[in-house]
Structure 1
Amino acid sequence: MNRYDATGHEAEEQPGAEPGVLRNLPGLTSLQDITEAETELLSDLSAHVLPKLLDTLTFADIQRWHHQWLGHLYQWAGQLRTVNMSKGDFHFAAADQLPRLVSTFERDFLTQLSDLETMPEETVIRYLAQSHVEFILIHPFREGNGRVSRLLLNVMALQAGFQPLDYQLWEENKEFYFKAIQAGVSGDYQHVERLVRDSLTQ
């Protein structure tokens, strides 16, 4: 399950568990059990969050989503990670930079939520792509960043008058997706814009 390298107490695995199972509150030891628990809880969270159109959204709200989702499994759910993380040679934002980065993310993207319904479609696509890339590069949580970011994208899409995105294309092209995220480091969002455009429906 754990696809990332990390250091520190949040990287601890559950004693006696299969490799990749993080230390968890119920003491689950199999990858299948922890994956099923995360999937079921995320479904519950999505059913709670998605039907509601929002006037405002803060990063604290996203942290509450994360805690609602994983709070029964992990002690650190909803908290900004305190460990540095990487995937192969690619490093996500340093943990000590997270407070500043999430504040900037809130200012640059979340404060525009109420404007989405009046934006032209191509502006919405750029907004969704850029916000997704920046969220993933920040990687604010120890686990579940990709899934929370997709929930956030769906909330934004609904606010803009679209349906939730179909992520099958993303799953089928994971290598392209990760390279597209990496391109965002230098401000090149066009590849994620392409994924969003191909996944967005009225």
Structure 2
Amino acid sequence: MSKYQLDDSPIYLNGSDVPKNKLDISDAEVIHEIENDLLIEAYEKFLSELNDDTKFDEEYFINLHKKTFESLYDFAGKYRNENMSKGDSQFCLAEYLDSESKRIFSELQQDKYLTIFDNKEDFAKRLAYYQGELIALHPFYELNGRVLRLFCDLLAVFNGYKPIDYTASIDNEKYIEASIECVQFADTTKLEEIILSGLSS
């Protein structure tokens, strides 16, 4: 069974949580290794391309997912068409994905990609808000968390910080707890603490 609950399950191999892929791989460990390798390459690529003119808009966010995983998955860079949930967490309904995504990225543009927040605490608080919104949006079938953390890391570097260190919070599952609170209660308090702790210049 998939770790996600979907109204329909168009992307997984039968009886597994391994997405259908271009390499016909059915081993979960192997596919996860490949995903991690692709993500490392993406960090190098997008960090090297970052500049003062980078626009952190919806197109850029979608392109991160597409360019990172298109060699492996047909669904890379495509918003899901089915409703998805995980445990007791219901992500944004598919019919509202487009409008909610545009709302989030419009707000981020109004915040001038967080350049108006000139101290670490305010920056972390606002970044936690956007990360929480994207966690609840969950626009792609798979690899949402890794791509939105890549997006937020690039935002951090754009604003003069280093990529955020999530290591401890992911290892002890605090990040999962914080994510659940974002989805179920729209509460980013724990996520803000994680980002602030992992943020350095």
Q: TM-score, normalised by structure 1?
A: 0.88
Q: CA deviation at 1:34?
A: 1.0
**1:54·1:114 contact (CA, 8 Å) conserved in 2?**
no
Q: CA deviation at 1:169?
A: 1.8
Deviation at 1:5, TM superposition (A): 1.9
Matches within 5 A, 1:43-54: 43-51=40-48, 52-54=50-52
Match of 2:194 in 1: 195
Correspondence 1:34 to 2:31: yes
Amino acid at match of 1:31: A
* 1:181 pairs with one of 174, 179, 182: 179
1:47–1:111 distance in 2 versus 1, CA, 3 Å? farther
% identical aligned pairs: 26
Report how far residue 73 of structure 1 moved.
Answer: 1.5
Aligned residues: 198
Quote the offset at 1:167 in angstroms.
Answer: 1.1
Matches of 1:163 and 1:50, distance apart in 2: 11
Displacement of 1:113 after TM fit?
A: 4.4
User: Which is worse superposed, 64-73 or 114-123?
Assistant: 114-123
Q: Aligned equivalents of 2:129 and 2:117: distance in 1? A: 18
**Cα deviation digits, residues 33-82 of structure 1 (max 9, x gap):** 21121111111111111231343221111111111111111111101111
Stretches of structure 2 that go unaligned for 5 or more consecutive residues are: none
Match of 2:3 in 1: 3
User: Alpha-carbon deviation of 1:6?
Assistant: 2.0
Structure 1 counterpart of 2:163: 164
1:77 aligns with 2:82: no
The 5-angstrom pairing of residues 55-74 of structure 1 reads: 55=53, 56-74=55-73
Q: Distance between the aligned counterparts of 2:103 and 2:10, measured in 1?
A: 25
Please give the alpha-carbon distance, in whole angstroms, between the structure 2 residues aligned to 1:91 and 1:44: 31
